[in-house]
Amino acid sequence: MAKTIYFIGNWKMNGNYDSIKEIETVNNFLKKKSISKLKKIIFCPPSNLLMSFSKKINTKLLDYGAQDISKINLNNGPYTGQLSAKMIKESGANYVIVGHSEKRLLDEDCKTIKKKISIAIENKLKVIFCIGENLFQKKKNLSFKILKKQILNSIDKKINFDNLIIAYEPIWSIGTGIVPSNNYLDQIYTKLKKFLREKYKVNSPILIYGGSVTPDNVVTLGENSLISGFLIGGASLKSKSFIEIIKNYFR
């Protein structure tokens, strides 16, 4: 059975109101080109842009996600600087990124991540859950041990995996231009799938890859049948490179 391929643009701390032009270009491309229907396009701009973008371009061809939500499970209250899951949902997002390594470095531990995942799903937000090891851990052959620990400490056994996308993002690959070999990725994803099947009783988890994804390397990355899409950073900021990634994957 054919599976949906995800192309998720994580804009991080980039973009302004004029950046809507990049999404408009992608939307026009999706209207005109007959690329596989089995794809899901999601943009995750900074939260201040979410509502204006989702209102201006409200289409079934693409969707929106947030880069974070508050760990406080309240709709509102005296919490300066916090954005509740309900606020994010009302801004037009249907997804949220949780557990990104850049957030882990700042203020997210597994306990916080577990809270956010639960809160997101309770508020009808699907979760893009990021896991990944650093270079030291990789060199010590601890990669899968770290990934397993991150999953076990963040995901409740009763979770509905229909609401979860797991993004493997090796920290040593993000923004470095270094992409793991297909042989390495095949080992990681095979172990992840086996572990999720045995521990969580899920046969077809959505597993995607993130880390220096470009129009050139997406062809090779796409050869791995266990990968169901990509979390794309810098290359998602410009419509040209984002479109090329989609086109090159399906060519």
Per-residue pLDDT of the chain (251 residues; tens, 9 = 90+): 579 999 999 999 999 999 999 999 999 999 987 788 899 999 999 999 999 999 999 999 999 999 999 999 999 999 999 999 999 999 999 999 999 999 999 989 999 999 999 999 999 999 999 999 999 999 999 999 999 999 999 999 999 999 999 999 999 999 888 999 999 999 999 999 999 999 999 999 999 999 999 999 999 999 999 999 999 999 999 999 999 999 999 98
The pLDDT value given to residue 1:
58
Residues spanned by the domain of 54? 5-250
Instruction: Of 182, 225, 227, give the one whose Cα is nearest residue 207.
Output: 227
**What pLDDT score does 4 carry?**
96
Burial 124-153 (b: 16+ CB within 10 A, else e): ebbbbbbbbbeeebbeeeebeebbbebbee
Q: What is the tally of structural domains in the chain? A: 1
Tokens of 16: 């302004």
Q: What angle do CA 190, 196, 199 make, to 5 degrees?
A: 135
Pairing relationship of beta strands 39-44 and 206-210 according to DSSP bridges: unpaired
Q: Are 162 and 202 in contact (CB under 8 A)?
A: no
Q: What is the pLDDT of residue 201?
A: 96
Nearest one of 71, 21, 40 to 238, comparing CA atoms:
21
What pLDDT shows up at residue 33?
76
Q: For residue 106, give the CATH number of its domain.
A: 3.20.20.70
Catalytic residues: 100, 169
| Residue-level pLDDT at 36 | 81
pLDDT for 56? 97
